Amino acid sequence: MATLCRPAIAVPEHIITREETLELARTLHADHPQLELALRLIGNTGVQTRHLVQPIEATLKHPGFTARNNLYEAEAKARVPDVVNRALEHAELTVRDIDMIVYVSCTGFMMPSMTAWLINTMGFRNETRQLPIAQLGCAAGGAAINRSHDFCSAYPGANVLIVACEFCSLLYQPTDLGVGNLLSNGLFGDAIACAVVRGDGGTGVKLERNGSHLVPDTEEWISYGVKDTGFHFILDKRVPGTMAMLAPAMREMAEPHEWDVSDLDFYIVHAGGPRILDDLGKYLRLEQSMFRYSRQTLVERGNIASAVVFDALERLFQDGGAEHASRGVIAGFGPGITAEIALGTWSGAVTGNGHRARKTSADRNSSVTLPA
């Protein structure tokens, strides 16, 4: 049975705080008729720091879509390999052991995909399968896990590398002045996450079952307007309320597995914003502490799109993991409105007292800030 191993995470070195974000909004949009509302919404996100691939001065400039996409490609090629190598080390595998690479991103475009570049430059086998996923937004992290699980189920013993590379700051559009856009400018951050799904062996989440759910007639709630200036993020005010529709879908997916989604041991879910976590706790009748890893990701890094679920999972690893055979759920939410949901049990070394061995302080230093 396939196991999702410990992720490796990297965030860029440029940091912007909540206070700096609010001051920028006041300075850049002093005459905006809904400035006070935007400031209140940004403050309510709970995001304290975000990481950016460029200094804020460069981020606020728009040199054109061509220059931005070129920067996306250059930054991805400079930063991804180190994160890949650390994820492979966590899984105790090498590039030659990988049978498929799943690359997810909604913040830049390459063709051939980044998967081809990785195979050519890092020594992966030429027959390594490639699965780029570009249009599932924040849900793509969950989709990458689920498609990796499917592949390992179809090809027992196969191994899959997942790469999530999100530079959300490259989507900043200075002419988009709606309140939703101003909120997004204070919510999203940049990060890279990589993880391996092992067909056999490994420590982490043993994947048991996965599923998808699309909420009908919500295609316009989260979308991109693709224009000469690049991707323009469109966020409908109804999005924060989607857990009313997605929480029941999570419950329904777990029931055939004879699991109660309100009675699991760990929850790794996409933290699109605080309302998502608040409502999920309400509808699943869970204490907010059950979402502490997702909440920490949101506070320290903002919404890092498809990388959120991996960052939250890494925080579970940093905390020593879960009890052996503990049950949990991983869920990514994104445009569509789409949910990608995985159920799994914790698989790992167990000490003599029946508890999983805790990580050492050296083991915990796996989330790093990468220099330019």
Same domain, 124 and 155: yes
Residue 117 and residue 215 in one domain: no
Q: Which are the contacts of 52, defined by CB distance < 8 A and separation ≥ 6?
A: 12, 14, 15, 16, 59, 169, 189, 190
Q: Residues 251, 283: one domain?
A: yes
Over the chain, what is the mean pLDDT?
A: 92
State the average pLDDT over residues 153-182: 95
Whether 116 maps to a domain, the answer reads: yes
Is 324 part of any domain?
Answer: yes
Does residue 365 form part of some domain?
no
Taking alpha carbons only, the member of 213, 208, 337, 274 closest to residue 18 is: 274
The pLDDT value recorded for residue 60 is: 95
d(CA 125, CA 114): 15
Domain count, the chain: 2
Each residue of 210-261: pLDDT tens digit?
Answer: 999 999 999 999 899 999 999 999 888 888 889 999 999 999 999 999 999 9
Q: Mean pLDDT across the stretch 296-319?
A: 97
User: Is pLDDT above 60 for 110?
Assistant: yes
Of 198, 217, 248, the residue at which a domain comes to its end is 198
The mean pLDDT value for 279-287 works out to 95
Task: Answer whether residue 178 shows pLDDT above 80.
Answer: yes
Q: Omega before 337 cis (within 30°)?
A: yes
Is 303 in the same domain as 319? yes
Respond yes or no on whether the N-terminal peptide bond of residue 112 is cis (omega within 30° of 0).
yes
Where residue 285 falls among pLDDT bands split at 50, 70, 90?
very high
The catalytic site residues sit at 138
Question: In the listed set 180, 198, 216, which residue is the last one of a domain according to the structure?
Answer: 198
Asked if residue 366 has pLDDT above 60, the reply is: no
Confidence of residue 33 (pLDDT cuts 50, 70, 90): very high
What is the band of 303 on the pLDDT scale with cuts at 50, 70, 90? very high
pLDDT in tens, 184-214: 999 999 999 999 999 999 999 999 999 999 9
pLDDT digits (tens, 9 = 90+) for 315-358: 999 999 999 999 999 999 999 999 999 999 999 853 333 333 33
Report pLDDT for 368: 57
Any idea what the CATH number is for the domain that residue 41 is in? 3.40.47.10
Euclidean distance between CA atoms 233 and 222, whole angstroms? 8
Q: Minimal CA–CA distance to 211: which of 140, 285, 147?
A: 147
pTM assigned to the model: 0.92
